[in-house]
Amino acid sequence: MNSHEHPLPQLGINIDHIATLRQLRGTPYPDLVEAARLSVAGGAEQITIHLREDRRHIHDADVRDIRAALGKSIPARLNLEMAATDEMLKIARKTKPEWACLVPEKRQEVTTEGGLALEKNEKRIRKILDGLKKSGIRVSLFIEPTAKAVKLSRAWGADAVELHTGKYCIETQRKDASTPKGRKRVENQLRRIEDAARAGQGILVHAGHGFDYENVRPVAALADGGMPLIREYNIGHAVVCRAALVGLERAVREMKSAILAP
Ligand code: PXP
């Protein structure tokens, strides 16, 4: 089911960090298709992966394997995050994800820092956006939470925007977040997200980057006439970190048993 057909916000789980764990050692595990299956078993409607130009976590073979499973043995859609380049357009056309999310990409960054500079890169972004849409792929643009960027994305024919929530999330995680000054900074960032989301008539509004189990709640509570303003979340790091803790006891028990009962 697609996000605009569903009254409740939907969840995409970004499994890049599972691939990062694998790449730290170059091991054949953890299995990304299994990670996708478990994410969907937990309630995710979508699997999100970012095939970066430098292939630092997700590899081309992962994209193929995950695509082959989603919509078949795993009931969920694929959201391919990608830079607006001809190379990625070619891969997306072959892969046919249900959604593509165009993101800015810099080689040196640890993670995506900021939304697309739409006006500066208009020609390139619109070329890739149109190319994706011609192939029947729905497109979201990862943007800073401003009304201007939302309106421009709609004018260019994007199906959705994904609001970059990183600045808000950083403010919520600062040590002084609960002081009056800190609370004000969090509130200002939350209002930016709300104002941008309210400018989203005629385009779907998604959100992602930096969410944890607490700071997602005030955003998810933003509503208009009982309808949530944000229709889809793409979340990765906090979920993978939580999984490492809630899964650790069982993982240790299985290793102990492998040693004691070889
Ligand atoms: N959405 C986009 C466009 C991203 O680039 C990322 C990070 O890869 C996410 C969502 C997920 O962010 P996080 O891992 O901080 O939850």
Q: What domains sit in the chain, N to C, each tagged with a CATH number?
A: 3-260 (3.20.20.70)
Specify the residue with its C-alpha closest to ligand 1, atom 9: 209
Query: How far apart are the C-alpha atoms of 207 and 143, rounded to whole Å?
Result: 9
Query: How far apart are the C-alpha atoms of 13 and 36, rounded to whole Å?
Result: 8
Q: Give Cα 109 to chain centroid, integer Å.
A: 17
What are the tens digits of pLDDT across the range 179-195? 999 999 999 999 999 99
Specify the residue with its C-alpha closest to ligand 1, atom 5: 112
pLDDT band per the 50, 70, 90 thresholds, residue 3: very low
Cα 255 to averaged position of ligand 1 atoms, centre (Å): 32
- Cβ(56)–Cβ(24) below 8 Å: no
What are the tens digits of pLDDT across the range 88-115? 999 999 999 999 999 999 877 888 789 9
Cα 226 to averaged position of ligand 1 atoms, centre (Å): 27
In the predicted model, what is the mean pLDDT of the chain? 96
Beta bridge partners of 13: 47, 235
Which atom of ligand 1 is nearest to 211's Cα?
Answer: 16
Cα 236 to averaged position of ligand 1 atoms, centre (Å): 6
User: How much is the pTM?
Assistant: 0.96
Query: How far apart are the C-alpha atoms of 27 and 150, rounded to whole Å?
Result: 41
List ligand 1's pocket residues with C-beta within 6 A: 14, 16, 50, 81, 101, 103, 111-112, 142, 162, 208-211, 234-238
- Residue 5 has what pLDDT? 52
Structure token pair of residue 175: 């040590």
Number of Cβ atoms within 10 Å of the Cβ of 20: 15
In this structure, what is the dihedral angle of CA atoms 32, 33, 34, 35, given to the nearest 10 degrees? Answer: 50
Q: Which residues of 84-105 are buried (b: 16+ CB within 10 A; e: fewer)?
A: beeebbebbeebebbbbbbbbb
- What amino acid positions are annotated as catalytic residues? 50, 81, 209
- Cβ(105)–Cβ(83) below 8 Å: yes
Cα 98 to averaged position of ligand 1 atoms, centre (Å): 18
Kindly report which listed range (6-10, 48-52, 212-216) carries the lowest average pLDDT score: 6-10
Q: Are strands 232-235 and 10-14 parallel, antiparallel or unpaired?
A: parallel
CA distances to 69, 95, 103 from 66, rounded to whole Å, are: 5, 10, 20
- Residue 261 has what pLDDT? 97
Structure token pair of residue 92: 């997306």
- Cβ(197)–Cβ(152) below 8 Å: no
| Ligand 1, pocket-test mutation among 112, 139, 141, 242, most atoms within 8 A of CB | 112
- If we measure between CA atoms, which residue out of 208, 205, 204 comes closest to residue 194? 205
- If we measure between CA atoms, which residue out of 127, 131, 83, 140 comes closest to residue 106? 83
